[in-house]
Amino acid sequence: MCRWLAYSGSPLTLHQLIYEPEHSLIDQSLHARLGPHTTNGDGFGVGWYPETGAPVLYRSRQPIWNDRNLRELSPHVRSGLFFAHIRASTGAPVQETNCHPFRHGKWLWMHNGQITGFPLVKREMIVAIDPSLYPSIEGSTDTEVFFFLALSFGLEHDPPAAIERAVGFIERACGERGIPDPVRMSVAVGDGEGVWAFRYSSSGVPPSLFYSTKTETLRAQYPSNMLMQALSDETRLVVSEPLGELEGVWNEVPPSSYGMVGRGQDEIRPFAPRAT
Amino acid sequence: MCRWLAYSGSPLTLHQLIYEPEHSLIDQSLHARLGPHTTNGDGFGVGWYPETGAPVLYRSRQPIWNDRNLRELSPHVRSGLFFAHIRASTGAPVQETNCHPFRHGKWLWMHNGQITGFPLVKREMIVAIDPSLYPSIEGSTDTEVFFFLALSFGLEHDPPAAIERAVGFIERACGERGIPDPVRMSVAVGDGEGVWAFRYSSSGVPPSLFYSTKTETLRAQYPSNMLMQALSDETRLVVSEPLGELEGVWNEVPPSSYGMVGRGQDEIRPFAPRAT
Amino acid sequence: MCRWLAYSGSPLTLHQLIYEPEHSLIDQSLHARLGPHTTNGDGFGVGWYPETGAPVLYRSRQPIWNDRNLRELSPHVRSGLFFAHIRASTGAPVQETNCHPFRHGKWLWMHNGQITGFPLVKREMIVAIDPSLYPSIEGSTDTEVFFFLALSFGLEHDPPAAIERAVGFIERACGERGIPDPVRMSVAVGDGEGVWAFRYSSSGVPPSLFYSTKTETLRAQYPSNMLMQALSDETRLVVSEPLGELEGVWNEVPPSSYGMVGRGQDEIRPFAPRAT
Amino acid sequence: MCRWLAYSGSPLTLHQLIYEPEHSLIDQSLHARLGPHTTNGDGFGVGWYPETGAPVLYRSRQPIWNDRNLRELSPHVRSGLFFAHIRASTGAPVQETNCHPFRHGKWLWMHNGQITGFPLVKREMIVAIDPSLYPSIEGSTDTEVFFFLALSFGLEHDPPAAIERAVGFIERACGERGIPDPVRMSVAVGDGEGVWAFRYSSSGVPPSLFYSTKTETLRAQYPSNMLMQALSDETRLVVSEPLGELEGVWNEVPPSSYGMVGRGQDEIRPFAPRAT
């Protein structure tokens, strides 16, 4: 289990995003509230989109709360589109190549949850990955293999459909091996323009997922909060757990659904695995 | 704030000592119960005495729960005298040279607590350290400077008296600068034969400290516990917090006192800072 | 390109083996003489066999010359069978799971050289690996995949035959893709009793490989060298490059051949890839 | 011994500065040519001045050639004033707090060379440091203590005079203890506007130091080199060893002298230690 946040909207600094909130990602790395792990100290990663070109990654295997370089750089990294993730390993080694977000071309991907029995189905997933994509896999996590499976199923053309196919594939492969409750996930994926966020579990309650309320509502509700006054109407945060207690800010994404932010639309739709 | 344990008694493996207990040091690194920090992920260290020669140190700046080399080595490291420490930094950088235990010749030293206002009194402490010892200081923690101050005040000849003088020195130096509550400490120090453990706070309740009951009592009380049946009468553990819930095993060290284990005697005595 | 050594014989300490020789592995990590890389600073690993049970691994992604824990431990690690490896990456990330030696059950494996065009043939190699072995692969090097391919081809029953099949497989797979000079290797593999060492290149001169002369010869030749007087008749070192300039100590393994040490026999045999 | 470069001039990216030159700092970390160490793998650091505010530091204890985050960030870090340093430790531990450049307020400082017998004179240097500056020392290198000694002697008001006093102090302190050849140095120090570079040795030949020729000369000499055509007249590089073989680019700084670049003047002046 891990914690993550995705930000899309008015440009701000990485420092404003991950250090300044009340219950920031730094605080969550030491004291997460929602989920089975209170400590998320098995590495971390941040990805952002510069003005032009591919997203930039900064990943480390040490706990985020101890990274002095990140703290130094963060006031100078400015973007309108960030992915940030703190890891609590469910088994794969703690190394940079296992830190989220993962990147392929202009796409970023990160995940909280797990594929149960991953060692048993990894080979079948690997074989289903497009051979031209396969050499780009660097680490050993379920998350990265899941990402490349979704890419092989058309992520770059239709993210929700590709992920529905990938989850359908995994559930079928696990089902054939008698593995119960195979997929638990909150996933964020983006291409530099939009961010899609998914919440799903094969059975039971999926990992927590929240998105921030429309900033126009917030501006009316909190007229003296300077940060909110400055953010554009379309600015959105999607998070594993709320960054503070401010009332009216955070809305839970329902189970088995997904949303997309960043391209003017703002809608929650149903998510259902598809057979392949 | 940190967690530590000291072990003196029948030889066992490092694995038995730090991985196998119910609420082991590994578990405490993620979920400490007694103290202000639930996570102790800012490095760790283990020291032990081989059959002959100086104690061996293994220290790392990564969280103990992720150290695969330690896990590999631990079944093969066997000793009758161990120091182990997991760190939650109160400010000094996370680096090997700041990990406890610290070593000088045959002496090991570790500490939970802090010297309030250390940056303000560090220079005065440094100047009071024996110039021939000064070049041996490698890191930047209050704990290491405290150790070398105690060495300068005669630790190798009379540990309790030297530590009483060092604490007296620090309290006086802090007092002159108006720093309140300067010392909070549970300290362990050893020379390969005995282990002395101190619990003290300039004001308020000092950090928690416990020692294990005499093994003869335990053997009678738990006739079916194989590990306890095998340990010698003089085996003792001194810990920041109990390693399990077994009734009758753990006794709190009273504030302002110290004990010594490992040389046949077993007594709690008062601790009081001395003017120098 | 990397440097490695394998030791089989009279028990000695890790310190004697890797720190004390004139041109030690530590020295080779900074100033290798034979091979394209003078610096081998991309992590390292040591494996050894304890008196009973599986081999122990100590691996780290930092340069060996800076590892203070290794230096501390090395006088206390004693064995009659060591594998040690310093890495100069040919592309795969610098992380513990990519450090040699690799282990499977009682087997250790390490490699100097490379599989040219590995990204292009990795998938075909992976698919040929026994599905029950596949989940044990942790890293992303050519060496580890090569090891598991050899295991799938019967390494545990007949090491030379399995490696000949694995190399045959790789050469065929590379040949079909037009990749020239696919395999360059000096490989050591052991099971706790014997060590097999291979030297081969699909074309051109393979990586350097040497073994030490019979100790009885050496004892006669160097009557005043205490270490040599103490070693048993069957003690052997196999190395990427000699550990010193002592005349008569080091013999080159011819290209396309292998030797086995540690079970009383001591013979160089031809090595030839086999079609599968 | 280490390698460093300081850049002052037309803004460029960190990638252009340290990855793109023929004999780049990355190449020098593996194959330095001038000096006693061919490998500079004991950590590194980069400092730069953003458009406003204090300089930013990025330091790591791993070899620069393996830092993937630095490679990712470097095309996005743009400045007209950079300090970069790769370390070959002369004894102090390999940790971030021992990596150059060191910072105090708007000042950056880095060093190649060493203070001979530093452990013997460290205490006397420490005691001479302004007590209000002392708590800012984080590491354990001779370089950082040298920096704070120079700050105590007025570095912020007159850099050459303060460094002359600091070197005089060290030479006197070492002389009293019979330590020969106490100071060997090439030092760079800057405040965000100018960069001062010093080359000195108490005896013998000091560490190598070069500065780049006036860009107007270079533009005339190399009319087709695009990078040179774009750089301003006042752009200068000061380096431990030349970044390439281009004729007419690199000029050696004479022993016992210093230069200042970045404020319109461009002059080499004599450097002589002063008694304090």
* Token reading at D191: 């405040």
Given this model, what pLDDT does residue B227 score?
A: 66
C164 touching D (Cβ < 8 Å): no
A91 touching B (Cβ < 8 Å): no
Q: What percent of chain D has pLDDT over 70?
A: 94
CB nearest A76 (choices: D56, D60, D68): D56
The better pLDDT of the pair B29, A126 is held by A126
Chain B residues lying within 8 Å of D126, measured CB to CB = 123, 126
Q: In whole angstroms, what is the distance from residue A257 CA to residue A198 CA?
A: 6
Question: D127 near B112, Cβ under 8 Å?
Answer: no
Q: Which residue carries 């087709």 as its tokens?
A: D224
Residue-wise pLDDT for D111-160, tens only, equals 999 999 999 999 999 999 999 999 999 999 999 999 999 999 999 999 99
Question: Smallest Cα–Cα separation from B238: which of B97, B111, B74, B117?
Answer: B111
B119 touching D (Cβ < 8 Å): yes
Residue-wise pLDDT for A13-34, tens only, equals 999 999 988 888 888 888 887 7
Is a pLDDT exceeding 70 seen at residue A222? no
CB nearest D131 (choices: B123, B135, B139): B123
Given this model, what pLDDT does residue B226 score?
A: 62
Given this model, what pLDDT does residue C231 score?
A: 77
Q: Do C41 and D31 count as a contact with CB atoms less than 8 A apart?
A: no
Residue-wise pLDDT for A64-109, tens only, equals 999 999 999 999 999 999 999 999 988 899 999 999 999 999 999 9
Residue-wise pLDDT for C84-97, tens only, equals 999 998 889 999 99
Q: Which chains touch C (3 or more CB pairs under 8 A)?
A: A, B, D
Given this model, what pLDDT does residue D110 score?
A: 98
Range C176-184 average pLDDT: 97
Q: In whole angstroms, what is the distance from residue D102 CA to residue D104 CA?
A: 7
Question: B74 near B38, Cβ under 8 Å?
Answer: no
Given this model, what pLDDT does residue B248 score?
A: 77
**β-strands C250-252, C102-104: how paired?**
unpaired
ipTM of the complex: 0.93
Whether residue A36 has a cis bond before it, omega within 30° of 0: no
Q: Do C59 and B50 count as a contact with CB atoms less than 8 A apart?
A: no
| Weakest mean pLDDT among A84-93, A148-157, A231-240, C98-107 | A231-240
Is a pLDDT exceeding 80 seen at residue A5? yes
Given this model, what pLDDT does residue D220 score?
A: 72
Chain C residues lying within 8 Å of A126, measured CB to CB = 123, 126
Whether residue D11 has a cis bond before it, omega within 30° of 0: no
Q: Do C72 and B50 count as a contact with CB atoms less than 8 A apart?
A: no
Range C142-151 average pLDDT: 98
If contacts are CB pairs under 8 Å, which of residues 184-243 in chain D contact chain C?
none
Q: How many angstroms away from the CA of D233 is the closest CA of chain B?
A: 42
Q: What angle do CA A207, A211, A217 make, to 5 degrees?
A: 155
Phi/psi at D13 (5° precision): -90, 155
Which of C59, C94, C121, C140 to mutate to probe the A interface, most A CBs <10 Å? C140
Beta-carbon pairs below 8 A across chains B and C: 28
Which of C33, C39, C95 to mutate to probe the D interface, most D CBs <10 Å? C39
Question: C207 near C185, Cβ under 8 Å?
Answer: yes
* Token reading at B130: 């024996």
Is a pLDDT exceeding 80 seen at residue D239? yes
CB nearest D140 (choices: B119, B126, B138): B138
pLDDT in tens, chain B (276 residues): 689 999 999 999 999 999 988 888 888 888 887 777 778 999 999 999 999 899 999 999 999 999 999 999 999 999 999 999 999 988 899 999 999 999 999 999 999 999 999 999 999 999 999 999 999 999 999 999 999 999 999 999 999 999 999 999 999 999 999 999 999 999 999 999 989 999 999 999 999 999 988 777 767 766 766 666 777 878 889 999 888 777 778 899 999 999 998 766 668 999 999 987
- Provide the H-helix boundaries in chain B: 14-18, 25-31, 68-73, 118-128, 142-152, 159-176, 215-221, 226-230
Residue-wise pLDDT for A247-264, tens only, equals 778 899 999 999 998 766
Is a pLDDT exceeding 70 seen at residue A227? no
Please, what is the average pLDDT of chain C?
A: 91
Residue-wise pLDDT for C16-47, tens only, equals 999 988 888 888 888 887 777 778 999 999 99
Which residues on adjacent β-strands are paired with residue D184? Answer: D114, D201
* Token reading at A231: 């953010």
Q: CB under 8 Å to D147, separation ≥6 — which residues?
A: D102, D104, D109, D111, D155, D189
Which residues on adjacent β-strands are paired with residue B269? Answer: B258
Q: Do B120 and D135 count as a contact with CB atoms less than 8 A apart?
A: yes
Is a pLDDT exceeding 80 seen at residue A35? no
Q: CB under 8 Å to D105, separation ≥6 — which residues?
A: D54, D156
Q: Do A39 and B42 count as a contact with CB atoms less than 8 A apart?
A: no
**A194 — pLDDT class (breaks 50, 70, 90):** confident
Is a pLDDT exceeding 70 seen at residue A228? no
**C170 — pLDDT class (breaks 50, 70, 90):** very high
A132 touching D (Cβ < 8 Å): no
Given this model, what pLDDT does residue B77 score?
A: 97
Q: Which chains touch A (3 or more CB pairs under 8 A)?
A: B, C, D
Given this model, what pLDDT does residue A3 score?
A: 92
C35 touching D (Cβ < 8 Å): no
DSSP string, chain A: --EEEEEEEEEEEHHHHHTSSTT-HHHHHHH--SSS-S---S-EEEEE--SSSSPEEEEESS-GGG-HHHHHHGGG-EEEEEEEEE---SSS--SGGGSSPEEETTEEEEEEEEETTHHHHHHHHHHHS-TTTGGG--S--HHHHHHHHHHHTTTTT-HHHHHHHHHHHHHHHHHHTT-SS-EEEEEEEE-SS-EEEEEEESSSPPPP-EEEPPHHHHHHH-TT-HHHHHS-TT-EEEESS-SS--TTSEEEPPSSEEEEESSS--EEEE------
Helix (H, G, I), strand (E, B), or coil: what is residue B62? Answer: coil
CB nearest D41 (choices: C39, C68, C93): C39
A138 touching C (Cβ < 8 Å): yes
Q: Do C119 and A138 count as a contact with CB atoms less than 8 A apart?
A: no
Which of B1, B29, B62 to mutate to probe the A interface, most A CBs <10 Å? B62
Which of D72, D79, D108 to mutate to probe the A interface, most A CBs <10 Å? D72
Q: In whole angstroms, what is the distance from residue B136 CA to residue B177 CA?
A: 28
Range D254-272 average pLDDT: 87
Helix (H, G, I), strand (E, B), or coil: what is residue C221? Answer: helix
Given this model, what pLDDT does residue C226 score?
A: 62
User: Which string of b and e fits D59-98 if b means at least 16 CB within 10 Å?
Assistant: bbbbbbbbbebbbbbbebbbbbbbbbbbbbbbebbbbbbb
Q: Do B93 and A42 count as a contact with CB atoms less than 8 A apart?
A: no
Question: A110 near A139, Cβ under 8 Å?
Answer: no
* Token reading at B20: 């196998």
Phi/psi at B253 (5° precision): -80, 130
In chain A, whose CA is at the least distance from the CA of D49?
A76
| Weakest mean pLDDT among A224-233, C185-194, D197-206 | A224-233
Is a pLDDT exceeding 70 seen at residue D50? yes
Q: Do A73 and D56 count as a contact with CB atoms less than 8 A apart?
A: yes
